[in-house]
A and B are shown apart, each in its own frame.
Chain A
Amino acid sequence: MLRLLQIEFIKLWNNNASKVLIISYFVLILCMALLAAIKFDIGPIQFHVAEQGIFNFPYIWHLNTWIASGLKLFFAIVIVSMMANEYSNKTLKQNLIDGLSKKEFIASKFLTVFAFSVISTLFVFAVSLILGLFYSDFTEVSIIFSDLEYLLAYFIKLLGFFSFCLFLGILVKRSAFALGFLIIWFAIENLGIRFLVWWVAGKEASASVMKFLPLESMSNLIKEPASRFKAVQSMVEQVGEQFNKDYTVHFYEILIVGCWTAIFIYLSYALLKKRDL
């Protein structure tokens, strides 16, 4: 297993483009901490983001995982190209001839993606913990470590999304086209399937079908946190509206994304096995 990771590490780390993108990705996660520095000081209006309670435990877990998961699109470039480049450089063929089995090839890619997801989750955990300890109003251990399921959801979400990228890389074989396909797939889910089912079977049916689609199920794992924020809620209440939204991470949602991950990895393997190189 370590050997497979090392193989992939050599390929990625010696590629300057990948190296820069990987480093920038993790730097961007660190940059979330800069949110705390946002301060408006215009005469009578004083506004300091960090003091608005957005960094309160356990809300911070939700907020930060949600923000950080937006960055995954950026990392998709690395994942897709690490797969598609093996085709365009024909190194996949050479790897197999040198004695890597097709199973090991897929395993090395999946392990890499797994490792990146773990590291990214740890990064988000560390950044959030430090931000929280600085700015949170509550610092009791029991509160700090509540709602940690958002981190699990974040990890599952990354793993699922990156597996999808790997699959697209194998399917399309060219990085630019694979990224294009990713965008098209997003449109198919959100415009095509959503409204097709809506039109055929009504709004409820559409909502329940959407839950099972790959990209939508991934984005469902962590719901948008803004409306949960107290300041926003009180503002909405003043207008006379009320939010009744379920923000929790459900087990079945994790299961759906887990299934997609397994399907994408299996399909990648099946495709590789079937193809003549």
Chain B
Amino acid sequence: METILTVNHLTKKYGYLTAVKDLSFSIEKGNVYGILGPNGSGKSTTLGIVLNVINRTAGDFSWFGGSISTHDALKKVGAIIERPNFYPYMTAIQNLKLVCKIKEVPQDKIEEKLEMVGLLERKNSKFSTYSLGMKQRLAIASALLNDPEILILDEPTNGLDPQGIHQIREIIKKIASEGTTILLASHLLDEVEKVCSHVIILRKGEKLYSGPVGEMLTTYGFFELKAIDGPALVTYLGNHPSFGPIKQENGLITAILKEEMTASSLNQDLFNNGIVLSHLVKRKESLEEQFLSLTNHKD
């Protein structure tokens, strides 16, 4: 598999504060990665370093196997970090022409990309007249001008209204479906959960986990149950070797699995033991629950 970005033992210190601590990971072509972490966990700093705008304290990184210099590599990358930055006095077209010059790509894709993000009618308006959502969409158009090998997005929906968030997500999903590698930094878990296949979890500059989303926690999921004879159900589950802790909340019983078990076999067993269920759901932990349990474990 082709490696797009390799980061080795990267460290960044701001005085006494260590923003990124000995971070290593690599990005493979074709996957959609999420960098997750609370605010201040070093996501933007890490992206800033690999994008050549923040100087590293120690460690190194290489683009495309290290065969080309960072600024040449960045011409094959599309990136949006934090707020969209363009020349306010220039129109969308003029701004994108400038980006084409910097990236050394032909200008014939400008209209196509503006169309894709729905800004074609406003192409001759000055950037300063755009709403935040439009600015963000222009930034995406700009990042896509060179048909990048990898698209890097840092908090792309930050500060947008629900409609804007929805538009940006649709665009990201569309790009992901076309097979472009994406690296998405966010503290919004549902955002990452919806599009990412792999995650890197950071906390206080340290990596807690990196790998496929599904393997983040080795769990077998849990059952949510309700029965007419509640106490009998609790007793049965408590004595069953396959279950861990049992929780009871508003009559809903949550039983965490220690090994694989299907809903139908549990239902059958319970019925055979004279317990009739009124509610049975088998669930996996959501990314949010997994994330919280990961970040809390290390406290």
Contact = CB atoms under 8 A, between A and B. Distances in A.
Given A14-B89, A14-B94, A276 B48 contact: yes
A93 interface: yes
A276 B55 contact: yes
B86 A91 contact: yes
Given A10-B101, A276-B48, A277-B54, A98 B86 contact: no
B65 interface: no
A6 B101 contact: yes
Given A10-B94, A14-B90, A274-B55, A98 B48 contact: no
Given A7-B101, A89-B87, A90-B85, A97 B53 contact: yes
Contact of A99 (B74, B85, B98): B74
Contacts of A100: 71, 102
Interface stretch (B24-32, B75-83, B222-230): B75-83
A7 B95 CA distance: 11
Contacts of A93: 53, 81, 85
A102 B54 CA distance: 12
Given A11-B98, A104-B71, A276-B53, A97 B81 contact: yes
A119 to B, nearest CB: 21
B163 interface: no
Given A99-B72, A276-B53, A3 B87 contact: no
B104 A10 contact: no
Nearest to A103: B71
Q: Which DSSP category, helix, strand, loop or mixed, fits chain A's interface?
A: helix
Given A101-B69, A104-B71, A276 B87 contact: no
B88 interface: yes
Nearest to A108: B102
A236 B114 CA distance: 71
Contacts of A274: 55
Interface residues of B, number: 32
Nearest to B14: A276
A97 B51 contact: yes
A94 B80 CA distance: 8
Interface in A249-277: 273-274, 276-277
Contacts of B94: 10, 14
A15 B91 CA distance: 11
B85 A98 contact: no
A234 interface: no
Interface residues of A, number: 26
Interface string A14-46: 111000000000000000000000000000000
Nearest to B70: A101
A244 B81 CA distance: 63
A91 B54 contact: no
Residue of B71, B88, B97 contacting most chain A CB atoms (<10 Å): B71
Nearest to B84: A94
A96 B52 CA distance: 7
Interface in A79-119: 89-91, 93-102, 104
B187 interface: no
B53 A99 contact: no
A97 B47 CA distance: 10
Contacts of B73: 99
B75 A99 contact: yes
A106 to B, nearest CB: 13
Interface string B113-152: 0000000000000000000000000000010000000000
B71 A99 contact: yes
B74 A15 contact: no
18 contacts: A3-B104, A6-B101, A7-B98, A10-B94, A10-B97, A10-B98, A14-B87, A14-B90, A89-B87, A94-B86, A96-B52, A97-B51, A97-B53, A99-B71, A99-B75, A99-B77, A99-B103, A276-B48
Interface of B: 48, 51-55, 69-75, 77, 79, 81, 83, 85-90, 94, 97-99, 101-104, 142
3 tightest Cβ-Cβ pairs between the two chains A and B: A99-B75, A101-B71, A99-B74
Interface of A: 3, 6-7, 10-11, 14-16, 89-91, 93-102, 104, 273-274, 276-277
